[in-house]
Structure 1
């Protein structure tokens, strides 16, 4: 039997963790080395740390990061320098999921990196199905403002970039675009819909798991909730059109071609806008900033390692004595 993978991608803070958590409660294996819960995601990320790390490294090697407003280079996935990362991903998938008939991979970065991952899954003869959660861009932007101190403008631009890439890169492949709000409101219906549409059998009984799923999807998962009719006025017309088009593609119906055509037009407009406003000079400055940020992180890691080393700890008394005598000499000489 051909191995199956459910690939969850989409914008950060859009419900990717919620969908992965629900599927995990239905027996879908997301791996053993999962990112632990944190203050901004107390229910858990359901994100494999090894996959997260390699995706971060790939973006960094391309001069980018998860919150970059710049596009990746054209046909970046054909870069032979990435072959080492492709091999690393294959090794991770074999080690984590070789014995699983069906497994899950979740990382918002896959919205940008899907072409490379698609190639890897094809090479391993894995049948993949894609889930793209969609959430109100203002809810996402407010969540990013709280967690990362981003402006609402940056948050909505990131939402636009991720969703355009996710929709266009997955259009030819088996996928579901699903409303995050729908999952919170009608989890039982969404669980059944996913199984029916993707033609999968959950490893664990869905009826038995529903009580745990209901508790997992408590109202606190909706960190910011907006009235769509009111908040429409606060959205740029462009972003509102994209959100509406994605909602047209989501839900319990097949893809509507007019919506994909509208998204193509919006994507072309977005590319023109980005090329106009994000100059090469600004892009170079961003790359230099990322480089310095990386160097700072490496220095901080070295300091942390040094301070926790055995030699640093056993010489601590000597440093204290030296500091004491330095103070004495300062006042008595």
Structure 2
């Protein structure tokens, strides 16, 4: 074969690979390889870290790019550093503080202002799914920006599965008050801002509701429940190690008692009602409960003007919007 014939044949061979690569990149959704990723979602201080660690017993890998443990979570956050970076950037661009209470329209998370971040998130999902046989991620902010991740997953052909961490809003507020000095009212409203708007978006995805209290009291049973819903299997040795070395009742610093005078005085009735609807879902989810949840959200939306003023005048909100020096001081 002459040199020109050889070069021509080689070029055709290379072009063939280019065509195949372009086909795979632009193929219809149904022709793409389906990758599944598990994400733990839930409000801050709802046991998402403990649940994420427990998923390792089911063969899930949270990855090697995890942020370091902190003073408020010495056993680890189990949060991918890149997921955290993207979530923070989404909130920053949309001018949302992590402790805001106002309702944010779903459309904001799908707009052109986040196009490059959608691309980054999609590539991250694909890369992690290719790197690990079964990968999962967790960051409480994910629930607040959930439409963003669902859109990124759809664009990249990734199937998201959800483990939803549930904890009573008043208990969450107590924990936030101790850790951040946030008022009980704001803490509960934050729970609503994270929980109510976008949770129904997971209905058509594999998902399971998990109570943090149940996990602490019956870890083996709860992990079996997750395994059943997500079609995974439990490693008994890892489960034993998780229960004996990781979990302890010391993880639960606050619990709700219906007979507590402070609880009766400070709990927000609408959110208490919402929580009990969600806890009913973890037992026997049906369409009626989703309708009831939507009714709670509709009632919550009536307070949007108040919530916006609450955020605008809040000292916490101001700290999150200030100069670099203020950010350095207040985080």
- TM-score normalised by structure 2 residue count: 0.81
1:212 matched to 2:241: yes
Q: Say whether the 8 Å CA contact 2:38–2:162 is kept in structure 1.
A: yes
1:122-178 residue CA offsets vs partner (Å, 9 max, x unmatched): 222222211111012222111101111101111111112211134223223221111
1:319 equivalent in structure 2? none
SS of aligned partner of 1:28? coil
Change (3 A) 1:26 1:295: same
Aligned pairs for 1:102-141 (under 5 A) are 102-141=134-173
Of 124, 142, 145, 1:92 maps to: 124
Determine the C-alpha separation between the residues in 2 that align with 1:112 and 1:168.
Answer: 13
Q: Say whether the 8 Å CA contact 2:42–2:195 is kept in structure 1.
A: yes
SS of aligned partner of 1:98? helix
Determine the C-alpha separation between the residues in 1 that align with 2:210 and 2:305.
Answer: 30
Of 266, 273, 287, 2:303 maps to: 273
The unaligned stretches of length 5 or more in structure 2 are 1-32
Change (3 A) 1:287 1:19: closer
1:175 equivalent in structure 2? 207
1:273-293 residue CA offsets vs partner (Å, 9 max, x unmatched): 122453499379987653324
The unaligned stretches of length 5 or more in structure 1 are 302-333
Moved more, 188-197 or 68-77: 68-77
Measure how far apart 1:95 and its partner are: 3.9
Count residues with an aligned counterpart. Answer: 296
Q: Say whether the 8 Å CA contact 2:46–2:166 is kept in structure 1.
A: yes
SS of aligned partner of 2:154? helix
Q: Say whether the 8 Å CA contact 1:35–1:48 is kept in structure 2.
A: yes
Determine the C-alpha separation between the residues in 1 that align with 2:290 and 2:184.
Answer: 26
Of 204, 222, 226, 2:252 maps to: 222
RMSD over aligned Cα atoms: 2.6
